[in-house]
Structure 1
Amino acid sequence: MYHVDSAKYNHGAHEVMDMHETLSTVIGGLDQCVLLRDQIQDPELRNMMDRQYQFCVDEYNTLVECFKTGRDPSQPTGHYQMTEDNKFTYGIKPGQPKKPITQASELNDEMISGYLLSSHKATATAKLAASLETTNPVVRRVLADSIPNCIEMAYEVSIYQNRKGYYQVPQLSSQDTVTITNCYDTMSNNQLQ
């Protein structure tokens, strides 16, 4: 077996391929923001996309740096701070059925915010999968530290969508919710024998 003693090449094959997939997913999301930004009608959505885009660019650069060098990045992973509150409106109102668009002119803020949400979900999934296969401890830590940021950005988008009526949140009946939440109980922390 050939051994390279440099941290720069301290990557396993699964890690390299998963990082390739992860970085490609991040690039796809960033490219999508560039392509869709000028189509946004709501200044609030544009502002959210701009903040998230800049944060994601910084995080992408941090991830690329540590992947290339195998060492701690010069800029540590930040923590995304959303500006939305965390209030959701529950329930479903009837509306028009969804279907794919057939013309670019049909694009609207509901769709764009949906693409943004999907991008964050895909990126979180890719980063999680990559972090489970990563052998380089720095890259693994940077990946793991960045997953909560994807979650926070997706959450911010979903709150925005909910407030605008784009993202409806159904609920079970109170009785069913109580029944299911009470299906589980804590246990004592005894050691296995």
Structure 2
Amino acid sequence: MFTQPSESQGNQQPISMNHGAHEVMDVHEVLSACIGALNQCVLMRNQIQDPELLGILDRQYAFMLDEYNITAEAYKTGHDPKHPTKTYNMQMGNDVKYGLSAGEPKKPIQSPNEVDDEIIAGALLSMHKTSAVGKTQAALESTNPVVRRVLQDSVPNSVEMAYEISLYLNKRGMYQVPQLAQPDMNIMLNAYGQAGKAKNMPN
């Protein structure tokens, strides 16, 4: 239900109405995508076989649910939510296995019976990547300072959750990370030098 802004002096508006149109629409998309992600977690949970993946999903679901609630609260009221954005911390090391090995070509499944842990983890990874992009876009468009801060503080959490899932998949050979040949890698890594201050810029 939408309410009309109250009469006020000058250009002042009630803080709950302190939103630009782009902000309102972009945050609407973020919250809708968040609901979709949470719903997918509920739908996928009982199909998970690996206890480690189940633990990751449960931790991420609880975190995303709380983050959804505070974002929705800030969006609706324009005020600080009941607590600041928390920080998601994954519970695994960040060792990555590099290199490629040949395998069966990837393709869409043809039956729900084909859903396995790799497909579920891949869906989670896609959700977090999409979330990071959507939150960033919405934060860039937000004029309400509270909403902007909640969104920008939550972007690293989406990145961290995506990283956790990618490491889970990588550890099992399901998310391969190619590398350049050493000479090409050296060329790329040494392609940039340190910059000095331009002569017309102040100290």
TM-score between the two structures when normalised by the length of structure 1 = 0.96
Higher-Rg member (1/2) = 2
CA–CA distance in structure 1, aligned partners of residues 91 and 183 of structure 2 = 34
Aligned twin of 2:64:
56
- Higher RCO structure, 1 or 2 (CA under 8 Å, sep 6+): 1
1:177 maps onto 2:185 in alignment: yes
| Residue matched to 1:114 | 122
Q: Does 1:154 align with 2:158?
A: no
**Where does structure 1 lack aligned partners over 5 or more consecutive residues?**
none
The question of 1:103 aligning with 2:93 is answered: no
Question: Whole-Å Cα distance in 2 between the matches of residues 87 and 175 of structure 1?
Answer: 23
Q: Deviations over 1:34-75 (max 9, x none)?
A: 110101110100000000000000011110011111011111
Amino acid aligned to 2:35: I
- Identity of matched residues, %: 53
Classify the secondary structure of the residue corresponding to 1:40: coil
**Counterpart code for 1:14:** H
Which amino acid letter does the alignment assign opposite residue 60 of structure 2?
Q
Aligned counterpart in structure 2 of residue 166 of structure 1, from 174, 179, 184:
174
Structure 2: any 5+ residue segments left out of the alignment? 1-6
How many equivalent pairs are there?
Answer: 192
Q: CA deviation at 1:190?
A: 3.6
AA aligned opposite 2:166 = S
In 2, the alpha carbon distance for the partners of 1:4 and 1:61 equals: 27
CA gap 1:138/1:50 in 2 versus in 1, 3 angstroms:
same
Coordinate RMSD, CA, aligned: 1.2
The amino acid that maps onto 1:89 is K
The answer to whether the aligner puts 1:28 opposite 2:36 as a matched pair is: yes
Q: Secondary structure of the equivalent of 1:89? A: coil
The aligned counterpart of 1:11 is: 19
What is the CA-CA distance between 1:192 and the residue it aligns to? 4.2
1:5-42 CA-to-partner distances (Å, cap 9, x unmatched) read 21011000000000111111111111110110101110
